[in-house]
């Protein structure tokens, strides 16, 4: 505060002369992946993506972010995604693909963050997948919040459908704060997280029709050009980088959604309203060969 001599009144400082310190803006997201910070340790092929995204207030995701990161926003909104795809050819490099891992569906609920160094990332709320060895390996290596689920996909007449239901087996992490509701998704009254039953058993059905119209906008890049993820592992925030060719995104139409995974992640109201963005990869695309570098600490030990 400063004293205005000519009036004797206490006045607020001029914002132009005393600006409030703001976090440094994150760098623009590149459309092509930057080089990895070290050798690749994991390789996978990703295919048949559907990207469903909803705007949310940044305060909704602030409690979910790892220490040392802040919500990454676009047009003032944070974004929550429900994203199914097919994963195949999993390999721990330099070894060949792991026998028995095969091809399987993964469905993740995620949001986005940025750290003090400007690293923009995915933050996973949950990842549902079927092969138990894959679930356990990803949990052990990266601390990711995987859920063991029965999941499948089918493509019929230009549409793509994903279904998944969590198995009622053991949980593979203790990070989830919210619990799922098995109430019909037509309900307009979301339950508070402390009043819903166990998240095990949560399910989803997603039916979409990818178009042939390419998409490359600032928003599409914000939602998909994420060349790494932040996670909390053993009390520390880690950052793991990945690389693949640019996304071959197309417009898509959501035909049906019957989902409990968003509610299980703490967003019970989202599935009852239309997504703010619907994107996909072409049904005839061969998929993206994706490589990961080893995770590195993003914050010093506490």
Segments in 66-209 forming alpha helices (H): 132-142
What is the tens place of the pLDDT at every residue in 107-122? 999 999 999 999 999 9
Residue 201 banded pLDDT, cuts 50, 70, 90: confident
Rounded CA gap, 30 and 291, in Å? 17
Give the model's pLDDT for residue 131.
81
Could you tell me the two tokens for 105? Answer: 């569906």
Rounded CA gap, 298 and 96, in Å? 30
Residue 195 banded pLDDT, cuts 50, 70, 90: very low
Could you tell me the two tokens for 154? Answer: 């089918």
Mean of the pLDDT values across residues 138-158? 88
What is the tens place of the pLDDT at every residue in 202-253? 999 999 999 999 999 999 999 999 999 999 988 899 999 999 999 999 999 9
Apex 177 CA angle, 77 and 118, nearest 5: 40
Rounded CA gap, 80 and 53, in Å? 6
Domains of the chain as residue ranges with CATH: 33-174+201-259+267-297 (2.40.400.10)
Q: For a pLDDT cut of 90, what percent of the chain falls above it?
A: 60
What is the tens place of the pLDDT at every residue in 245-281? 999 999 999 999 999 999 999 999 999 999 999 999 9
Task: Of 246, 235, 270, 223, give the one whose Cα is nearest residue 122.
Answer: 223
């Amino acid at each position: 505060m400063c004293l205005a001599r000519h009036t004797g009144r206490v006045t607020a400082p001029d914002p132009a002369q005393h600006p409030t310190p703001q976090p440094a803006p994150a760098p623009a997201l590149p459309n092509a992946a930057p080089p990895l910070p070290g050798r690749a340790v994991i390789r996978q092929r990703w295919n048949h993506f559907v990207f469903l995204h909803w705007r949310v207030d940044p305060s909704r995701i602030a409690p979910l972010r790892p220490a040392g990161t802040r919500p990454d926003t676009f047009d003032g909104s944070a974004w929550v995604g429900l994203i199914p795809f097919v994963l195949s050819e999993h390999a721990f490099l330099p070894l060949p693909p792991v026998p028995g891992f095969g091809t399987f569906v993964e469905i993740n609920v995620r949001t986005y963050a940025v750290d003090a160094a400007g690293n923009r990332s995915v933050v996973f709320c949950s990842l549902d997948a079927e092969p138990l060895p894959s679930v356990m390996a990803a949990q052990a290596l990266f601390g990711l919040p995987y859920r063991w689920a029965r999941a499948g996909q089918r493509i019929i007449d230009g549409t793509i459908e994903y279904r998944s239901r969590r198995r009622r087996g053991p949980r593979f992490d203790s990070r989830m704060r919210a619990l799922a509701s098995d109430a019909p998704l037509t309900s307009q009254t979301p339950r508070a997280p402390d009043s819903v039953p166990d998240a095990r058993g949560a399910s989803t059905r997603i039916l979409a029709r990818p178009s042939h119209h390419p998409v490359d906008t600032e928003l599409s890049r914000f939602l998909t050009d994420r060349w790494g993820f932040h996670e909390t592992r053993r009390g520390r925030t880690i950052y793991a980088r990945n690389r693949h060719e640019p996304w071959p995104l197309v417009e898509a139409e959501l035909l049906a959604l019957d989902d409990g995974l968003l509610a299980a992640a703490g967003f019970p109201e989202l599935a009852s309203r239309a997504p703010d963005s619907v994107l996909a990869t072409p049904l005839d695309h061969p998929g993206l060969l994706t490589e990961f570098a080893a995770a590195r600490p993003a914050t010093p030990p506490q």
